[in-house]
Structures are given as structure tokens and as C-alpha cells.
Structure 1
Amino acid sequence: MAIQHHHQVHPGEPRLPAALAVLTAVALYSLLPTRLLIEPRFVVPVLELLLFVPLVAANPRRMTRGNRGLRRLAIALVLLIAASNAVALVLLIRQLVVGHAQEDAPTLLLAAGQVWLTNVLVFALAYWELDRGGPVSRTQVSRPRLPIADFRFPQDEDHDAIYEVAKRSSQKSGWAPGFIDYLYVSVTNSSAFSPTDTMPLSPRAKILMAVESVSALVLSVLVISYGVGQLK
């Protein structure tokens, strides 16, 4: 018996969660110590906001409008946030390895938290933008026409579970992953250093998760070592 695919009309994913993530990442970078920044201090944040404003203007409340230009702009924004945070991470590692006076310890440890949190946010944004063609595609394109998935969520295979679980499955409810789902993937990957309930399927998803895990692991080890060193 052939399976029929019915495309349900979706109002579009809410813009707010991803928008708050971008603004939080911009703020966290702006508040880093000067020695961890690409100077002048506000050049990168201003560039990020200049890329962000037209994206919000195109989809202010829900993600329903998409085209190649907007997608390139969104990916450019994610790359800029990722690149600036990568530079901050390298400079922070240098500061932690070289070692400084004890009075710098609180500042460096706080900066490490900022860099770690920004890392979580930027990888969540990257997963959100890439998987199945992006947030607009996931809700506005019928399943047979969706690009190949980069991630496999539990909801993608729960259709044959017990009723109260199967009811939330992709097949029976039309569920599509949203930003919070990708944020959860990023948080667990940065804290457990491996996938938990969501599996990467594509090579690019596996590479991104590997980079996130390694960077989080290196930062965690160095911060713990630095903190222990300050207790001596």
C-alpha cells in the first residue's frame, strides 16, 4: 500500500527564539575583555547587527519568507559570529596557558563562560540554518520535496510507538524541529561531548558536532586546570 504524504499548512516557526540567541551572542562578545576581541570593540557587533536587521525585517514574527539572498545573509551572520568567537577562544586559550596574575582569574573565568555559551548558541544557529534547507524550508515545503536531513530526531521515528508518544511524531503530527530543538542538541553536545538523542546524518553535521565537542572539551579542561592552579 503506497504511503501518501500530506503537506499541512504551517504558520511558520517563531522568529523570537533564534533572534534572542543572536542578540545574546552579540552581547556576550561585546562584553568580553579587550584582549580577547578583534578591535575596535564594536566593529564586529555592528557588522553582525547590520546582517541581522534585514533578516528580521524579512520575517519579523514567523519564518515564512525565504530566498537565496536571505539564506546567504543568514549563513554569513552565523559564520561571522562563529569566526569572532573562534578568535576569542584562541586568545582565551593563550591567556589561560601563558598564565597571569591571580587578580585576573575571575575575569578570565567569566570570559571562558561567555565564550562557551556563545559557542553553544552559534552551533545551535548553524544546525538550525543548515538542517533540511533551513527554518523556512522545514515548515513551508512538503516533506517529499525537503532537502536531505542533516539530523535525525526521536520524533522522526516515533510513529510506531505507543499512542501518546506516536501522536507527537513527525509522521502523525507534521512536527518539524525548531530552534529550541537545535539548541538542546548544541547544549548536550557541548556538555556531554557527544550526541545524545539526536544523531548527525550528513558529513557536514558530523564535522560541525565534532568541532563543537573538541572546542568545548579543550576549553573545559583548560578552565579546570587554570582554576586548580589558582588554588595553589
Structure 2
Amino acid sequence: MGFVTLALIVEMALLIIKISTFNSGFILLRSETLLWISNVLVFSVWYWNIDGGGPRKRHENAHQANDFLFPQQVNGASWETHFFDYLFVAFTGATAFSPTDTAPLGRRAKVLMKLEGLISFMIVAFLISRVANIF
């Protein structure tokens, strides 16, 4: 996962470096959209793998909020997370540039959420600045 995340960051940096060479706003929009979707997918897998020791450990034991606290867990209800829950956390984090309804508890979750928000913000900021110049 570290290699994939590093590749995502390198791809974002390359896109930023070459952003002035794009003459078509639609091609740039497509490239940045794919990069943003990759950001969401990469971080959803990160969240799924780190929370509670990973999916296998969460399945074997009763899920305890180690890295993320979902709203359904607040009242102590027996609720089990699935990959879609982490995909939702990654999507909302990349959209809002911050946590929304699910609180990051552990340091590694906080670092990952900060990195995801930063990558997403950079993608959107450079997209808006360049597309505005093209159109």
C-alpha cells in the first residue's frame, strides 16, 4: 500500500508539473478525475486495512474502534464494518478535505486522513486554476 500511495503522489506531482501543457480542459478534467478516484480508492483500502488490525482480525473478534469511530459504534451497538464503510469515509474525506461523520482515533488514521485531504485539495485546486485559464 505504501508503494501504491507513493505512486499516487508521484502521479499527482507529474500532473502538476505538466499541467501547463494541457490545451484541452476536458482531457485535464478526465485526468484529474481519474487521479481523484484513485485517491479515494487507495485511501479506502488503507482505512480498511488498518482499522482494528485489519479485516481478518475484525471478523475474528468483536470489532473495537481502534482507529476509526463510526456513528453506529457510539452507543456500543454490535455493528460490523464492511469495505463500503471505509470507501464512504475515504470519499467524504476527499470531498470535504476533512473527516465528516467518522472520527479518526489513532495517529496513523489521522495522518492518512490528512494526507488524503491534502492530495484531494491539491488535485482540485490545480484543476480549477488550470481549467479556468483554458476556458
* TM-score, length-scaled by structure 2: 0.92
Q: Tell me how far apart the structure 1 counterparts of residues 62 and 81 of structure 2 sit (CA, whole Å).
A: 14
1:90 aligns with 2:13: yes
Pick one of 190, 193, 200 that aligns with 2:97: 193
CA distance in 2, matches of 1:219, 1:117: 11
> SS in structure 1 opposite 2:42?
helix
TM-score by length of 1: 0.55
Once the two structures are superposed, what CA deviation does each residue of 1:67-94 show, in whole Å capped at 9, x if it has no partner? xxxxxxxxxxx22321222111110111
Match of 1:125 among 45, 62, 66: 45
SS in structure 1 at match of 2:21: coil
RMSD: 1.6
2:130 aligned with 1:230, yes or no? no
- Is 1:92–1:108's contact at 8 Å kept on the other side of the alignment? no
Q: Distance in 1 between matches of 2:8 and 2:114?
A: 17
- Equivalent pairs counted in the alignment come to 135
Gapped regions of structure 2 (runs ≥ 5): none
How far apart are residue 142 of structure 1 and its match? 4.1
Distance 1:217 1:188 in 2: 13
Identity %: 36
Q: 2:66 aligns with which of 149, 170, 178?
A: 149
Distance 1:142 1:183 in 2: 21
Separation in structure 2 between the aligned mates of residue 91 and residue 142 of structure 1, nearest angstrom = 43
Distance 2:84 2:75 in 1: 19
Structure (1 or 2) with the larger CA radius of gyration: 1
Aligned mates of 2:56, 2:115 — CA distance in 1? 26
For 2:5 and 2:15, locate their aligned partners in 1 and report how far apart those are by CA, in whole Å: 15
Q: How far off is 1:101 after superposition?
A: 5.1
**One-letter amino acid matched to 1:195:** P
Output the amino acid matched with 1:150.
Answer: D
Map 1:6-85 → 2, pairs under 5 A: 78-85=1-8
Q: Which amino acid aligns with 1:191?
A: T
User: How far does residue 110 in structure 1 lie from its aligned partner after superposition?
Assistant: 1.0
- Higher helix proportion: 2
- Aligned pair partner of 1:179 in 80, 83, 89: 83
